[in-house]
Amino acid sequence: MKNQYVQILDIPFLNKTKNDVVNDVFHQYLKEGKKGFIVTANPEIVMQAHKDRDFLYTLSKADFIVPDGIGVVIASKMKREPLKERVPGFELMEDFLALSNLHHLKVYIVGAKNEILESAVKNIRSKYPDLNLAGYHHGYFDDDDDTVIEEIQRVKPDLVLVALGCPRQENWIKQNMPKVEKGVFIGVGGSIDILAGHLKRAPVFWQKIHLEWFYRLLQQPSRWKRMLVIPRFLIRVLTSRA
Ligand code: UDP
């Protein structure tokens, strides 16, 4: 459908608001019992796909990619094909959990360190008491270890949150999704750490002035080198505009 996607450096971003992603797309997948692979992509992920063809191939297997990162929205404006809004991965995950709570859905979580995951699970159980948390596993296992995917095959969750960091989480989903019958899989990066209270999201003011990335940098200064990718990404979008 026209305008449904905005192409940025060969990555097709779904041009929908967060509410539409939750209530139209995700809900529809659940109703139809369809499998889904959702990627929330920021400039770092787009640039990663440009230097790693295998990862680009992984992204091509996603059912849809949403713009998580103000850099992607700025890039869409530079191309004069503005995306409707940023769809923050953490908020999308929260909305998916809320919908799962409402419909008593089965959720599985894979990723994060054991003790952090345990705290996140505790918080999920108290905040979303009606969802069925059908299982969880920390994220420090070998890629060829099938224990987790075998459990998911058995449990048949409706929603699978995968927090293995990028690009591992997307590659893991691409690798393992074909082995299951159902479930919407989404890579959630550091969101389990936030749910656990281990990392904090930027206060709303910082989010409003689009400096959430800067707040994150202050919390995890070791990420500064990774942030340099944002200006490089914008220059690339500008020069590839033709
Ligand atoms: N993580 C994991 N297994 C791994 C690598 C990372 O479970 O092999 C978890 C990590 O503990 C954290 C989350 O993935 O909870 C996100 O990690 P990171 O901040 O490095 O991811 P990124 O921001 O790069 O997506």
Q: Tell me, letter by letter, the H, E, C secondary structure of the chain.
A: CCCCEEEECCEEEECCCHHHHHHHHHHHHHHHCCCEEEEEECHHHHHHHHHCHHHHHHHHCCCEEEECCHHHHHHHHHCCCCCCCCCCHHHHHHHHHHHHHHCCCEEEEEECCHHHHHHHHHHHHHHCCCCEEEEEECCCCCCCCCHHHHHHHHHCCCEEEEECCCCHHHHHHHHHHHHCCCCEEEECCCHHHHHCCCCCCCCHHHHHCCCHHHHHHHHCHHHHHHHCHHHHHHHHHHHCCC
Query: Are the beta carbons of 39 and 59 closer than 8 angstroms?
Result: yes
End-to-end CA distance of the chain: 24
Q: How confident is the model at residue 2 (pLDDT cuts 50, 70, 90)?
A: low
- What confidence tens digit (pLDDT) does each residue in 41-52 have? 999 999 999 999
Mean pLDDT for 139-167 is 97
Q: What is the mean pLDDT of residues 2-13?
A: 90
State the pLDDT at residue 128.
Answer: 98
Mean pLDDT of 98-109: 97
Which pLDDT score, from 0 to 100, does residue 217 have?
82
Rounded CA separation 151/51 (Å): 33
Which residue has the least CA distance to atom 17 on ligand 1? 165
Testing ligand 1's pocket by substitution, the residue of 42, 93, 145, 164 carrying the most ligand atoms inside 8 A of its CB is 164
Atom of ligand 1 nearest to the CA of 44: 24
Q: Provide the pLDDT confidence category of residue 214 given band limits of 50, 70 and 90.
A: confident
Q: Measured between alpha carbons, how far is 174 from 90 in angstroms, rounded to an integer?
A: 21
User: Average per-residue pLDDT in the chain?
Assistant: 93
Q: How confident is the model at residue 242 (pLDDT cuts 50, 70, 90)?
A: very low
Question: Pocket residues for ligand 1 (CB within 6 Å)?
Answer: 111-113, 139-140, 163-166, 168, 189-190, 192-193
The pLDDT of 219-241, averaged and rounded, is 85
Q: What is the pLDDT of residue 226?
A: 76
User: Using CA atoms, how far apart are residues 23 and 55, in angstroms rounded to an integer?
Assistant: 29
Task: Encode pLDDT of 45-83 as tens digits.
Answer: 999 999 999 999 999 999 999 999 899 999 999 999 999
**Token pair belonging to 27:** 């809900």
- CA 166 to centroid of ligand 1, rounded, Å: 7
pLDDT band at 215 (very low <50, low <70, confident <90, very high): confident
